[in-house]
Amino acid sequence: MSCPYKYNGVKKIMQNIINLFAKQYGLTRNEVMAEIENVFSTVLSRWYRLEVMVFFRDDLQLEAVAYNKVNGVTMQRLVDLAAIRGPNTLKKHLQKSLTRSAVLKQTRYYKSYKKQLCWGDIISHDSAQNIFVETEIIPGQIVTAFCPLNRIGLHERNLRHYRLFTN
């Protein structure tokens, strides 16, 4: 019989990890859990050259099951996650996936504002004459936007105020 304290301790640790990722990447707990399952499934499938499905059990333990066909029959076997090599590779893939999800979520949020005209202040430029503009797409949330030189109209480049700023 397993010890209930061990079960609660492991569950608490996994909850803390999920909460940490959710806060760090601005995602919900469910989004973080889905990304973890997806990344582990994808990477382990590639490593084992079999279809591997990874999912959270009720106790928030990850479980991995590999599927393959033998003589036309689908066989299942558990993958021991504690024994796999390359945890840093999994961590790298997970960070990349969580970052991508966070950016996509933020993009969906800002996309609803795409038809609105907003003004901003030029705050700096770089050596290639690209400019940085500070604006508020969403009221109260200041964003610094990067505007490459090739996106600045010729008529704007020839304005006296623009030349004064870039020289």
Q: Are 20 and 101 contained in the same domain? A: yes
Say whether pLDDT at 165 is over 80: no
Tell whether 129 and 146 lie within a shared domain: yes
Indicate if 69 and 133 belong to the same structural domain. no
Per the structure, the complete domain to which residue 42 belongs is given by 4-111
Mean pLDDT of 129-135: 86
Token duo for residue 55:
């999912």
No. of helices (H) and no. of strands (E), the chain: 5, 6
Is residue 136 predicted with pLDDT exceeding 80? Answer: yes
Q: Is the pLDDT of residue 101 over 90?
A: yes
- Say yes or no to pLDDT of 117 above 80: no
Q: What is the pLDDT of residues 44-64, one digit of tens each?
A: 999 989 999 999 998 888 999
Is there a single domain that holds both residue 19 and residue 72?
Answer: yes
Q: pLDDT-derived band of residue 163, with 50, 70 and 90 as boundaries?
A: low
Our count of domains for the chain comes to 2
How far, in Å, are 56, 126, 130, 132, 143 from residue 152 at the CA level? 49, 14, 9, 12, 19
Residues 43 and 17 in one domain: yes
**Residue 9, domain CATH:** 3.30.1480
Please check whether residues 70 and 140 belong to one and the same domain. Answer: no
Contact residues for 43 (Cβ-Cβ < 8 A; gap 6+): 89, 90, 93
Does 79 share its domain with 125?
A: no
